[in-house]
Amino acid sequence: MIQRMTSVGLMSGTSADGLDVCCATFTYADGKWTFHIDAAREFGYTPELRDKLLNRVQGMSARDFVAFHSEYGHFLGRKVNEFLSETGLHPDIVASHGSTVFHEPCRGLMFQIGDGAAIAAETGIPTVSDFRRLDIMLGGQGAPLVPVGDNLLFGEYDYCLNIGGFSNISWREGERRMAFDISPVNYVINRYCRSVGLEMDRDGCIAARGRVCETLLAQLDALEYYSRPYPKSLGREWVEREVFPLLEGWDLPLEDLLRTYYEHCARQFARVTVPGKRVLVTGGGAYNKFLLERMGALSACRLEVPEPAIVEFKEALIFAFLGVLYMAGRSSCLRSVTGARQDNIGGMLFKI
């Protein structure tokens, strides 16, 4: 069993805001994992790269798609080298999430762009990538992957909530870890903010000025996904097919549209939680004061926002941990979370 390992985790979320890089050292002693974040940084994307990831990649020819898979992998590797040059760190492995291009597990379809072989070629460091594929081949959702880290690194909380492009939650039921995606959040909010030249609704100030459209709220809450039993997960395809057409069917001022959507996100969170419980809140949405205010008011849970390094880099931290679990031969995809036929060790290792 591995007792100590230093790993770099790479995370690029659905909103394609940038690349999170987190180097952490993990120690296993007395049956428990602990960690120390050695350094973490976000690298922004150029407008061209962001446009490719968000809009253009799904329409590429097969040849261009494969070329971009390699190109983006080399980009990730160069950013790791830049990060390590700045920090002077010497990790044992790199673990990369990649950027989700396709996620339709019911069709056995997924792809995380960003070739792990290119990362290993650039860095010379053993690289684990493609964490979701095996789970989907075993009939699972391939998502979420973070709950194993929630369980082993943040088990003192009743719930772990991450608010990024989508909100997802995990918790324990007896001996099993359970988790699922709750709803789209920043993937929707940021799109409408960009329509008026803003990257985000900072602190929820725009939404706070608006009024709820009760009819639209009822339509959003009635979407079939929310009544579906878990395990379940969300992807961009579902949002573009189900959510955007509803929102675009209403000619609402931006503040009213966002206020209604915030209420929807808060109501869906409240539906799946028990009042009074302790909730660790991470991800970019943890800084959205108005959104957290509505979530707390409707759920009556105790929402706890930790130190900035964990708020901003928890997912990259846990992907670093998934790389350690891979090297230790420990399952990272939990069937209780994904619905796969069995727990499995997701990932593919590239080693020079």
pLDDT band at 54 (very low <50, low <70, confident <90, very high): confident
Distances (CA, A) of 8 to 74, 257, 319: 16, 39, 8
Sort strands 93-96 and 4-11 into parallel, antiparallel or unpaired: parallel
Tens of pLDDT, residues 168-191: 999 999 989 999 999 999 999 999
pLDDT band at 302 (very low <50, low <70, confident <90, very high): very high
Buried b (16+ CB within 10 A) or exposed e, 141-170: bbbbbbbbbbbbbbeebebbbbbbbbbbbb
Name the CATH topology of 4-142+315-350: Nucleotidyltransferase; domain 5 (3.30.420)
Give the percent of the chain with pLDDT over 70: 100
pLDDT band at 202 (very low <50, low <70, confident <90, very high): very high
Tens of pLDDT, residues 90-123: 999 999 999 988 888 889 888 999 999 999 999 9
Statement: residue 15 has pLDDT above 80: no
Tens of pLDDT, residues 67-78: 999 999 999 999
Mean pLDDT, range 255-284, rounded to an integer? 98
Numbered ranges of CATH 3.30.420.40 in the chain: 4-142+315-350, 148-308
Q: List, in order, residues 6 or more apart from 272 with CB less than 8 Å away.
A: 169, 182
Sort strands 127-129 and 93-96 into parallel, antiparallel or unpaired: parallel
Please tell us whether the domain made up of 148-308 is placed in CATH 3.50.50.60: no
* Cβ atoms 30, 79 nearer than 8 A: no
Q: List, in order, residues 6 or more apart from 199 with CB less than 8 Å away.
A: 17, 190, 193
pLDDT band at 195 (very low <50, low <70, confident <90, very high): very high
Give the residue among 302, 303, 298, 304 at the shortest CA–CA distance from 276: 302
Name the token pair of 102.
Answer: 């396709």
Statement: residue 322 has pLDDT above 90: yes
* Cβ atoms 12, 18 nearer than 8 A: yes
Report DSSP letters for 10-28, one per residue.
EE--TT--EEEEEEEEEEE
Name the token pair of 46.
Answer: 């150029």
Question: What is the number of residues in the chain?
Answer: 352
* Cβ atoms 170, 146 nearer than 8 A: yes
Distances (CA, A) of 63 to 59, 96, 109: 11, 23, 19
Statement: residue 248 has pLDDT above 90: yes
Statement: residue 156 has pLDDT above 80: yes
Name the token pair of 277.
Answer: 């419980």
Statement: residue 27 has pLDDT above 90: yes
Q: Burial, 106: exposed, middle or buried (Cβ in 10 Å; 0-12, 13-18, 19+)?
A: exposed
Mean pLDDT, range 250-271, rounded to an integer? 98
